[in-house]
Amino acid sequence: MSLKSLVLAPAGSGTVEPRANGPTTIVFIFSDNIAAADGTIDSNEFTITNATFSSASIPANTLTLNLNGVIDQSVVSVTLNGIQNTSGNPLTGDNDIEICALVGAANQSQVVDKPDLQGVKDHAGEPLDQMSGNYLFDLDIDGTIGRGDGRVIKMNKLHTVP
């Protein structure tokens, strides 16, 4: 699993997940240790659109949410409900995120086009590196940046997020 910081921006204009299957794991890190208000972390703690709850876990101050059934060319939104710190205080501030699911949009432009293909060519053969962000060009998630990733872009050419 590679971690990528979410761009918290106006609705629908933030982070793009360009890899196959969309955002399947979302990790939230809080300043305090947290827990589910009802004592059990399950689908009741989330409102999810354009994806389906698979599982979640809370070790200390980290909430890991696993999704499946992500709809390509959509905005996946997650709202946290019923999460509190271990002293019983509910979340304060913004409690929702949005991630654009757009297979092939490796350059984060919200459209699959020629610059995405050029990016794959520019990074072809490089070892995947979280720090440089080049892992986003491994669109078919096979562990390498190469021809298969170019095929993903060609199959999704001109796809956008509404």
Asked if residue 7 is part of any domain, the answer here is no
**Domain of residue 31, CATH code:** 2.60.40.1220
Q: Is the pLDDT of residue 82 over 80?
A: yes
Q: Does 122 share its domain with 46?
A: no
Residue 131 lies in a domain: yes
| 97 and 120 co-located in one domain | no
Q: Is residue 27 part of a domain?
A: yes
Residue given tokens 């699911």 in the structure block = 101
pLDDT digits (tens, 9 = 90+) for 28-41: 999 999 999 999 99
Shared-domain flag, residues 20 and 95: yes
Write out the residue range of the structural domain in which residue 61 sits. 16-101
Express each pLDDT in 40-63 by its tens digit.
Answer: 999 999 999 999 999 999 999 999
Question: How high does pLDDT run on average in the chain?
Answer: 90
Q: How many domains does the chain have?
A: 2
Same domain (yes/no): 118, 76: no
Q: Are residues 21 and 95 in the same domain?
A: yes
Q: Which residue has the tokens 């949005």?
A: 98
Most confident stretch, 85-89, 94-98, 130-134: 85-89
β partners of residue 90: 84
Q: Is the pLDDT of residue 158 over 50?
A: yes
Q: Would residue 146 count as lying in a domain?
A: yes
Strand segments, DSSP code E, in the chain are: 16-17, 25-29, 34-36, 46-49, 52-57, 62-68, 74-80, 83-85, 96-101
